[in-house]
Amino acid sequence: MTNVRVAGVGLTHFGHHPERTSRDLFAEAGLSALDDADVAAGDVESVYYGNFMGELSEHQGHQGPLAAEALGVDAPATRYESACASSGVALRQAVRDVRNGEVDVAVVGGAERMNNLETAESTEALAIAADDLYEVRAGMTFPGAYALMASAYFEQFGGSREDLAHVAVKNHANALGNDHAQYQKEITVEDAMESPPVASPLHLYDACPVTDGASAVVLVGEAYAESEDLDAPVAVTGTGQGGDKMALHDREDVATSPAATDAAEEAYEDAGVSADDVDLAEVHDCFTIAEVLATESLGFFETGEGVDAARRGVTTSDGDLPVNLSGGLKAKGHPVGATGTSQVAELTKLLRGDHVNSEHVPDATTAVAHNAGGTVASAVVHVLEEVEA
Amino acid sequence: MSDVRDAGYDDFVDALADGEGYYVECDEGHGSLPPRRACPHCASRDLSEEPLPETGTVESCTEIHVPTPSFADDAPYVVAVVDFGPVRVTGQVLADPEDVEIGSTVAPTVTETATEGDRLVAFELR
Ligand SMILES: [Zn+2]
């Protein structure tokens, strides 16, 4: 089994690009990843592409081949769909194929175009990540589902809207210098508290924006990296995936995300690390409560004790365990199918030392990416380690 | 969308509307909602329809202010996950938001959306 190196990463600006097709967005991210890797398109043996709502937003299915041709790659290409975890699961498949020696050079990425839809249409498109019969038809929205998780969390473990506001403030602060981020604007706890309600107890500033964008990473086997003399100091050393019932009401507990716990345990064991070894993390904060659930599932905090981590300064940029130094989904943005690989792209740069926020984690060697689908009916976790100084 | 029924689901809603709600139970006692051919919790294929208890308890709830287009004229409204013991059900609570809280007792019913007249699972406070 060969080690899997991240040879290069690429991101578009995340934001409002209603006029740009996802094939164009992915071309920008993928080509910049190939350039960053110093790998020729002709060497790519497989393309793994994540996208969620292409049929609804662009009337386009079968997007794998489009993704490959956008990069000038002539190789097998497959689209992966797992709601907001689409490119995370694409990455997991690529990691396994490279490890097994079936593929030496892989491009993994994703793209999403959402702002060409009206707000109501994108709300509806996102809602289909929930159970259509028993959730969507009952009037559930995606924010509504996370609101149900937040209400149950507050009831069982305590915590307050103000605790969640600190998560939003932190992630906005982290995005300030990130040129890829949708929002480079500081907010205050008061701003978050006073923003309009979306689905109680969640307000507008608890939610990630609607985002267009793409991301890509180039993965290579260690032997290829050595023979080509690539500068690829970061390795994907652990991968894990967990699943849960689709509808919240079919879960054992509405206030936790056991699929992410399972994914994290598998990824840690795979990498031979524990939660204590993790220096920084990018987690799926589509809503502020989601960051709380994620950090508990990843083992950074006991269940019920993660809600005030941002408020206590533990997960801030100067804390012991910075979370979402990119700005997270909350401030960097959440182009659904692109999110999983964008987390890995950001972490790779943070570990390599060429991210605008690398100064906050100069000694970091171990990072974790957590990508969730729906209300965490799907979860995928990857461990990244700096293996060459 | 066509008018074709969704077997299992539409039968469930019909039964709820007639005051004869049911759920699917496996031989291990796990509850779930139809259609099912296997228990989602233990894979048992020994399933039966059991009467839904007359009341349940709100396990979590939210007042939705930003709806999907199908609920545009309904917002704001309350959605709850209601625990009936062997099974939980998601639906709208037909009550003032300030009167609904975790722990509230509700009974299942069926209503129509104000927006498009679609049927949906709902609850009334008891
Ligand atoms: Zn069972």
Catalytic residues of A: 84, 334
- What CATH number was assigned to the domain covering residues A4-118+209-386? 3.40.47.10
Mean pLDDT, rounded, for B11-22: 97
How many CB atoms neighbour CB A370 within 10 A? 32
Residue A124: pLDDT band by 50, 70, 90 thresholds?
confident
Within 8 A of B92 by CB-CB distance, chain A residues are 138-139
- Say whether B90 and A249 touch across the interface (CB within 8 A): yes
pLDDT tens-digit readout, B27-85: 999 999 999 999 999 999 999 999 999 999 999 999 999 999 999 999 999 999 999 99
Whether residue A348 is predicted with pLDDT greater than 80 in this model: the reply is yes
CA distance A217 to A238: 16
Distance from CA of A111 to the nearest CA of B (A): 23
pLDDT tens-digit readout, A271-297: 999 999 999 999 999 999 999 999 999
Ligand 1 mean position, distance from CA B47 (Å): 8
pLDDT tens-digit readout, A191-224: 999 999 999 999 999 999 999 999 999 999 999 9
Residue A389: pLDDT band by 50, 70, 90 thresholds?
low
CA distance A193 to A24: 37
Chains A, B: CB pairs < 8 Å = 106
CA distance B83 to A320: 40
Distance from CA of B92 to the nearest CA of A (A): 6
Has the ipTM of the complex gone over 0.85?
Answer: yes
Which pLDDT score, from 0 to 100, does residue B61 have? 98
Q: Where are the domains of chain A?
A: 4-118+209-386
Among chain B residues, the shortest Cα distance to A153 is held by B60
Whether residue B2 is predicted with pLDDT greater than 80 in this model: the reply is no
Which pLDDT score, from 0 to 100, does residue A2 have? 79
| Angle between the N-to-C axes of helices A258-271 and A288-297, in degrees from 0 to 180, rounded to the nearest 10 | 50
Which pLDDT score, from 0 to 100, does residue A115 have? 97
Substitution target from B1, B10, B81 for chain A, most A beta carbons within 10 A: B81
